[in-house]
C-alpha cells in the first residue's frame, strides 16, 4: 500500500511537469520559446521639409515657400526639419534653392534673440550701474536717453582783433539734454558682461559672502529699436558725450515730454545753485 502511494505521487509530479512544458510551448506560439511581443523597427521613411521655391538669403519664411515630402531615411539629411512649423517665421541665413531640404542650420541662430520692429533700426549702447539704472534694465523695457555733452563739445571762444580765435577758460559749457527724439525707446536685446569670479576660499575656510558692490567697470550692452533719425542722433551723442538711460513706466508708452535741458546757468537761475565767488586772499609781505 505504501509503495503504491509513492508511485501515484511520482506520477502526479511527472504529469504536472509535462503540463508546465506544454503551457510554455503553447504560450510561445510553438516558436521554440520566442515571445509574441512586437519588436519596434526603425522607420524606413520620414516626413522631410523642402523648399518649394527659391528662398533668398535673409528671407522670412512663409507657408507658401515650403512643401512636405516623405523620403527614405537614407536620402534624408540628419538635421533636416520634418514639420513646416519649425521653419515658418524664421529668417534664412543661407540661400535655398527649390527642392532643397530645409535644415535647422539654414536659419539665424543668434546668441541673443533679436526681432527688429518694422520701420525701426537696431543700435547698441553700453551702460554701467551708474548710467544704466544699476544695470537692472532688460529686454522689453522702454527708456529715455539723457545725453550729457562734455565741455569740449561747446568750447567758448573769443575772436581777437587780429582775427585769431582763442578759447576762453573758466566757463563751464557742460550741457545736459533729454531730446524728444530719444524718448520712449524700447530695449529689444541685452548682452550681459560675465560676472566676476567669486572670491576664493582661504585655508580651507568658506569664502565670505560679500555684499553687492557698485562696479562701474561692469558694462551691459543695450540693443535699442530706434528710427533712422534717432540712430543718427544717438551715434553722434555716443561718440561725443555720455549717455544715461532713464527707465520709464509701461503706462507711459507713447507719452513724450518736451524738456529745455540744463546748463550751469539753468541751475543758478532756476534752481538756486550758488555760483562760486572770487575770494581775495591777501598775500603776505615777505620779511626783510
User: pLDDT digits over 12-31, tens only?
Assistant: 666 777 776 666 666 655 45
Query: Is residue 229 located within the same domain as residue 98?
Result: no
Residue 221: other Cβ atoms inside 10 A: 15
| CATH, residue 60 | 3.90.1210.10
Query: How far, in Å, CA of 244 to CA of 129, rounded?
Result: 10
In a domain, 176, yes or no: yes
In a domain, 174, yes or no: yes
Provide the pLDDT for residue 158.
76
Name the nearest CA neighbour of 106 among 84, 81, 82: 81
SS3 state at 223: strand
In a domain, 201, yes or no: no
- pLDDT over 80 (residue 63): yes
Provide the pLDDT for residue 54.
97
DSSP state of 119: T
Cα–Cα–Cα angle for 16, 21, 25, rounded to 5 degrees: 145
Query: Is residue 167 located within the same domain as residue 267?
Result: yes
Query: Is residue 71 located within the same domain as residue 187?
Result: no
Query: Is residue 93 located within the same domain as residue 130?
Result: no
Domain count, the chain: 2
- Between 148 and 27, name the one with better pLDDT: 148
Which residues, other chains included, contact 85 with Cβ-Cβ below 8 Å and sequence gap of 6+? none
- pLDDT over 90 (residue 139): yes
Query: Is residue 261 located within the same domain as residue 167?
Result: yes
Query: Is residue 170 located within the same domain as residue 248?
Result: yes
pTM exceeds 0.85: no
Pairing between β-strand 142-149 and β-strand 165-167 as defined by DSSP bridges: unpaired
Q: Which helix (H) or strand (E) holds 230?
A: helix 228-240
Which residues, other chains included, contact 216 with Cβ-Cβ below 8 Å and sequence gap of 6+? 128, 129, 130
Query: Is residue 70 located within the same domain as residue 165?
Result: no
Query: How far, in Å, CA of 105 to CA of 81, rounded?
Result: 10
pLDDT 10s digits, 187-208: 999 998 776 666 666 665 656 6
Provide the pLDDT for residue 178.
46
In a domain, 237, yes or no: yes
Q: Encode burial over 10-47: b for 16+ CB neighbours within 10 A, e otherwise.
A: eeeeeeeeeeeeeeeeeeeeeeeeeeeeeeeeeeeeee
Query: Is residue 127 located within the same domain as residue 265?
Result: yes
What is the arithmetic mean of pLDDT over 213-223? 84
Q: Which domain holds residue 85?
A: 45-106
Query: Is residue 178 located within the same domain as residue 235?
Result: yes
- pLDDT over 80 (residue 5): no
- Please state the length of the chain: 288
Residue 262: other Cβ atoms inside 10 A: 17
Question: What proportion of the chain, given as a percentage, has pLDDT over 90?
Answer: 40
DSSP state of 134: G
Name the nearest CA neighbour of 242 among 141, 123, 127, 102: 127
* Cell 502511494 sits on residue: 5
pLDDT 10s digits, 264-279: 778 888 888 887 777 7
Backbone angles phi, psi at 4, to 5 degrees: -65, -40
Query: Is residue 92 located within the same domain as residue 132?
Result: no
Query: Is residue 127 located within the same domain as residue 100?
Result: no
Query: How far, in Å, CA of 156 to CA of 166, rounded?
Result: 9
SS3 state at 183: coil
Amino acid at each position: 500500500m505504501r509503495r503504491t502511494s509513492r508511485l501515484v505521487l511520482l506520477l502526479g509530479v511527472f504529469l504536472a511537469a509535462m503540463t508546465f512544458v506544454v503551457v510554455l510551448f503553447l504560450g510561445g506560439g510553438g516558436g521554440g520559446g520566442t515571445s509574441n511581443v512586437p519588436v519596434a523597427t526603425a522607420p524606413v521613411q520620414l516626413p522631410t521639409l523642402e523648399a518649394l521655391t527659391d528662398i533668398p538669403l535673409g528671407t522670412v519664411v512663409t507657408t507658401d515657400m515650403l512643401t512636405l515630402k516623405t523620403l527614405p531615411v537614407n536620402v534624408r539629411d540628419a538635421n533636416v526639419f520634418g514639420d513646416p512649423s519649425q521653419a515658418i517665421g524664421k529668417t534664412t541665413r543661407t540661400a535655398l534653392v527649390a527642392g532643397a531640404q530645409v535644415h535647422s542650420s539654414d536659419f539665424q541662430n543668434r546668441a541673443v534673440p533679436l526681432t527688429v520692429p518694422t520701420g525701426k533700426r537696431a543700435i547698441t549702447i553700453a551702460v554701467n550701474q551708474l548710467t544704466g539704472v544699476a544695470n537692472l534694465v532688460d529686454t522689453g523695457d522702454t527708456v529715455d536717453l539723457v545725453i550729457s555733452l562734455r565741455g569740449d563739445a561747446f568750447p567758448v571762444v573769443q575772436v581777437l582783433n587780429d582775427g585769431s580765435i582763442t578759447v576762453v577758460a573758466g566757463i563751464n559749457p557742460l550741457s545736459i539734454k533729454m531730446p524728444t527724439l530719444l524718448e520712449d525707446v524700447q530695449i529689444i536685446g541685452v548682452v550681459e558682461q560675465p560676472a566676476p569670479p567669486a572670491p576664493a576660499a582661504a585655508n580651507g575656510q568658506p569664502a565670505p559672502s560679500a555684499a553687492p558692490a557698485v562696479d562701474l567697470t561692469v558694462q551691459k550692452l543695450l540693443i535699442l529699436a530706434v528710427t533712422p533719425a534717432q540712430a543718427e542722433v544717438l551715434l553722434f551723442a555716443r561718440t561725443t558725450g555720455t549717455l544715461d538711460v532713464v527707465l520709464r513706466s509701461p503706462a507711459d508708452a507713447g507719452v513724450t515730454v518736451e524738456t529745455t535741458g540744463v546748463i550751469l546757468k539753468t541751475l543758478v537761475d532756476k534752481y538756486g545753485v550758488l555760483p562760486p565767488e572770487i575770494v581775495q586772499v591777501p598775500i603776505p609781505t615777505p620779511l626783510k
